[in-house]
Structure 1
Amino acid sequence: MPVNALLKLSRAIDALTERIGKIALWVVLIVVLISAGNAVMRYTLNFSSNAFLEVQWNLFGLIFLSCSGYTLLRNEHVRIDLISGRFSRRTQAWIDVFGILFFLMPMAVAILVLSWPVFMHAFESSEMSNSAGGLIVWPARLMVPVGFLLLIVQGISELIKRIGFLKGLCPDPTSKRNEVSAEEELARAIRQRKGAK
């Protein structure tokens, strides 16, 4: 498949990942509201629910796992800039290609493969939380393989972009595109929603 066609696929993957990241911003707000509501009920009404706590934990896990690909897209993942920052952009791209192929992909594929049977067991047995009033477990177990699948797909996109950059067909994918923080993005999205009403 020609690199230009692969770059088109990469742009589609990036658009999907970007959309997932934007949705996750709203999930962060939901988690904060549930957490605040749970705390208020606990201290004012002396009422607490394990289900509310587990919803918080599950949503936090959903944010973390679904946004791993978004973090990779935004080039915000952990890297050793102290070493790689001394090299040229082309050398850094080659280091990224090596890292994606020999570290990111094997790790993500292994976790996806190993977590799938854990999800299937929880789903087939209708496993419930050990906590009193807890929730069914399989949705939380499903987040792991889905999150790592999203990471693998974004890893493929990043690999395509690095190869495209090395061939001179696209700009440097490691350059920062947007310096706006996630919190600023959420605040902007809330203001836009209010303005639309």
Structure 2
Amino acid sequence: MSALLRLSRLIDAINEFVGRHLAWLVLVMVLISATNAVARKAFAVSSNAFLEIQWYLFAAVFLLAAGYTMLRQEHVRIDVVLGRFQRRTQVVVEAVCIVLFLMPFGLLVIDLVLPLVIKAYETGEMSSNAGGLIRWPVYALVPAGFTLLLLQGVSEFIKRIAFLRGLADDPGRRGKSRSDEEELAAFLRQQADGAKK
């Protein structure tokens, strides 16, 4: 089990790294959007490539951060029924759902999309918009994102089995006690206090 827990920590580290660095793409999207808006309004110049790269970056953030979202226990849950059970029962249900639903769905999506990615790459498929971008990189985000999600599913399954065997803490506990907004507010307060001194 210790080897599996090491594998789980490695997967967690990969998704943590990906998730933390994807946040910069949001800034890039904002800058591209602002540049495109200024160019369009001030100089009557626009480009479909600017619009499409924003869509591509949004797709990258959304798809590649799915594993990170699962790692941080921030994915959408509906615990109307499950919330009434003891924690051990909840963990068993979560582990079963990972195996019965997440894994087959993720593998099916990868299996269905991979041929489209390969075909788009081989044919050099381009956007039908004038000045549009090549399509295969954005198509490739789907299997890449689902691979990261499936890997995180493996990690979460390992953590739940370890918890049930008494070898690990509760895997459903959020990794931090404060929300992202609370962490940002605390950081800004520290900066302001440092500037006053």
TM-score (norm 1): 0.90
Q: How far apart, CA to CA, are the structure 2 residues paired with 1:108 and 1:95? A: 18
What's the Cα RMSD here? 2.2
Aligned counterpart for 2:81 among listed residues 80, 83, 89: 83
Q: How far apart, CA to CA, are the structure 1 residues paired with 2:151 and 2:125? A: 29
Letter of the 1:181 partner, please give it. D
Post-superposition shift, 1:180?
2.9
Indicate the larger mover: 120-129 or 170-179. Answer: 170-179
Aligned counterpart for 2:2 among listed residues 1, 4, 8: 4
Aligned counterpart for 2:104 among listed residues 103, 106, 118: 106
Aligned counterpart for 2:166 among listed residues 165, 168, 171: 168
Q: How far apart, CA to CA, are the structure 1 residues paired with 2:90 and 2:38? A: 49
The change in CA–CA distance for 1:41 and 1:113 in structure 2 (over 3 A counts) is same
1:154 equivalent in alignment to 2:152: yes
TM-score (norm 2): 0.90
Q: How far apart, CA to CA, are the structure 1 residues paired with 2:69 and 2:30? A: 21
Post-superposition shift, 1:183?
9.3
Q: How far apart, CA to CA, are the structure 1 residues paired with 2:16 and 2:181? A: 12
Aligned counterpart for 2:29 among listed residues 11, 31, 51: 31
Give 2:91's aligned residue: 93
Aligned counterpart for 1:66 among listed residues 60, 64, 67: 64
Q: How far apart, CA to CA, are the structure 1 residues paired with 2:21 and 2:47? A: 26
Letter of the 1:115 partner, please give it. V
Letter of the 1:167 partner, please give it. R
Q: Is the 8 A contact 1:25 1:182 kept in 2?
A: no
Give structure 1 stretches of 5+ with no counterpart. Answer: 193-197
Moved over 6 A (4+): none
Give 1:195's aligned residue: none
Q: Is the 8 A contact 1:129 1:135 kept in 2?
A: yes
Post-superposition shift, 1:184?
5.3
Post-superposition shift, 1:33?
1.1
Give 1:117's aligned residue: 115
Which digits, 9 at most, give the CA deviation of each residue in 1:115-150, with x for residues without a partner?
A: 000000000000000000000111011111111111
Q: How far apart, CA to CA, are the structure 2 residues paired with 1:87 and 1:114? A: 37
Post-superposition shift, 1:76?
1.0
Give 1:127's aligned residue: 125
Aligned residues: 190
